[in-house]
Amino acid sequence: MKTIVWDIDDVLIPSTQIWLNEWFKNPHGIKYQDLHQNPPHEILQISKDEYLKSLDEFRVSPLFEKTSPTKEVYTWFLKNGHHFNHIALTARPIKNASYASKWLFDHFGNWIRQFVFVPSKRDTDPLFNYFLNKKEALLSFNNVTYFIDDTPININNAKEIGINAIEFPRPWNNQKLSVNEILDLLK
């Protein structure tokens, strides 16, 4: 059975879009489509610490918990999910990884059986890490057929180790295919 490794934020869940539109106090009226870099703190005219603090607060909020999955991806899982082995791989601070896990299994537990996170460094976290990045985590998996992520560096790192990496279309990357065209590649 083929294995697909899925990023959670901005792939399985439209987290940045919901964060920007419904959580972040956006005094400059920046639109989601204008987020041409990630992290987007410079575009939003805030410090990186302010951005991470707001994002981390959103990720443990009831709003995050009730956010629906990316519609096209969820529809794909309903039709095709049972044909693959699935792993979720996310980069999160240790203190909010459990919230991502709960959200993941609440929405994708019928298909995804493995949750792995790479700790995103925060000042309050311990100094040890099992994986320093998603590339190291991917190296620990066997027989990954596809890796789907929205971040160009993660895509490039996966390709360096011979994994068929597919960039999920978001404003901060160069993917020209639509979400449905990306999902059609998996069939």
By percentage, how much of the chain surpasses pLDDT 90?
A: 88
How is the beta sheet containing 164-167 ordered, strand by strand?
112-119, 85-92, 3-6, 144-149, 164-167
Based on the domain organization, do 177 and 119 belong to the same domain? yes
- The string of pLDDT tens digits covering residues 68-80 is 999 999 999 999 9
Based on the domain organization, do 75 and 36 belong to the same domain? no
- Are the C-beta atoms of 109 and 129 separated by less than 8 Å? no
pLDDT score of 128: 67
Based on the domain organization, do 36 and 109 belong to the same domain? no
Residue reference for tokens 């991470």: 52
- The string of pLDDT tens digits covering residues 96-107 is 999 999 999 999
Rounded distance between C-alpha atoms, residue 167 and residue 100, angstroms: 21
> How many domains, in total, are found in the chain?
2
What confidence category does residue 138 fall into, taking pLDDT thresholds of 50, 70 and 90?
very high
Containing structural domain, residue 24: 16-65
- Reading the block at residue 145, the tokens are 């057929």
Q: What is the mean pLDDT of residues 12-39?
A: 96
Q: Which of 47, 65, 83 is the last residue of a domain?
A: 65
Rounded distance between C-alpha atoms, residue 109 and residue 129, angstroms: 26
pLDDT score of 148: 98
Based on the domain organization, do 82 and 102 belong to the same domain? yes
What confidence category does residue 89 fall into, taking pLDDT thresholds of 50, 70 and 90?
very high
pTM for the structure as a whole: 0.95
Length of the chain: 187
pLDDT score of 118: 93
For residue 15, which of 80, 59, 60 has the smallest C-alpha distance? 59
Based on the domain organization, do 52 and 8 belong to the same domain? no
pLDDT score of 127: 66
Q: What is the mean pLDDT of residues 146-162?
A: 98
Based on the domain organization, do 105 and 86 belong to the same domain? yes
Average pLDDT, whole number, for the chain?
Answer: 95
- Are the C-beta atoms of 158 and 147 separated by less than 8 Å? yes
Based on the domain organization, do 31 and 116 belong to the same domain? no
